[in-house]
Amino acid sequence: MRLGARAKINWSLDITGVREDGYHLLDMVMQPITLSDTLTLEATDGGAITLEVAGSGIEGIPADGRNLVVRAAEALRRACGVQQGARIRLEKRIPSGAGLGGGSSDAAAVLHGLNRLWGLGLSQERLEAIGLTLGADIPFCLRGGLCRVQGIGERLTSLGEGPVWPLVVVQPCMGLSTGAVYGAWRQRAQDMAIDTDALIGCLTAGELARLPVSPGNALEPVSRAMQPAIGEAVQALLDAGAVCAQMSGSGSAVYGVFADQNKAQEAVEALRLRWEKTYLCETCGKSMCICDDA
């Protein structure tokens, strides 16, 4: 089985509180994009889970139990008492440390694929519950579509497929540690006026012209302070004609939304001269797909 595991963007990211255990309470709007990794899954008779990682920019990505892909497969095995194993090949295209949910999307694809290969028949809700034990973004990456995600990632409100708009994604600097970014936010927590309901109205109506220039990401100011290139890339996208541009997740990737494909293509060609990791893609409805459609 070959699956395309798609990245995601945060249309918004608001922090509404911090639990006693240190987990941040979030209110986010997210949607998949067509930038994707590819996973090839094969069930095996032995109980071992093996992983091969290929692609560009994979330095530092482990191929053992530290990888979220292996952890997802092992969690599914434990949850269902599976005796089978799996051979997994991961071809990376989504940049790491980017706030694009690449690792979470890969883990979600493994849960979805092995659920089928091992004949487990688990429900979507059960898969999402297992995914949440591994990472806050995994339930969303299993569900896909335009979605409001609240709490620590467990409260999902589906909002339909979402708009399909041309997108340019840029990772202008090295990846950022999610933990370090949230730690920095706690040191200088600031209220940011994020009108999530109004944003959802724009997105569900598909009204690009009403989209705010910066829909709102509470982590962007601290990530910009850590890596000023993030702010430079946001401005470069706006200068290239993006209707809106902002950071995704905790960074370091940023994205710009364009009114048409030609303008997006021109922006990619110009920005790639400055930043190698510049990608042309679009927003979409499904978070995973058959590889040929990825």
Q: Looking at the annotation, which residues are catalytic?
A: 8, 137
- Please state, in angstroms and rounded to a whole number, the distance separating the CA atoms of residues 204 and 170: 25
Tell me the β-bridge partners of 54. 91
Q: State which amino acid sits at residue 213.
A: V
Which parts of the chain fold into alpha helices (H)?
Answer: 68-80, 102-117, 124-132, 138-143, 178-187, 196-205, 220-226, 229-239, 261-271
DSSP characters over 93-147: -SPTTSSS-HHHHHHHHHHHHHHHHTT----HHHHHHHHHTT-TTHHHHHH-SSE
User: CA 51, 53, 55 angle in degrees (round to 5)?
Assistant: 160
Residue of 190, 189, 210, 157 lying closest to 30 (CA atoms): 157
Rg (the chain; Cα; Å) = 18
Q: How far is CA 206 from CA 26, 100, 110, 209, in A?
A: 24, 22, 31, 9
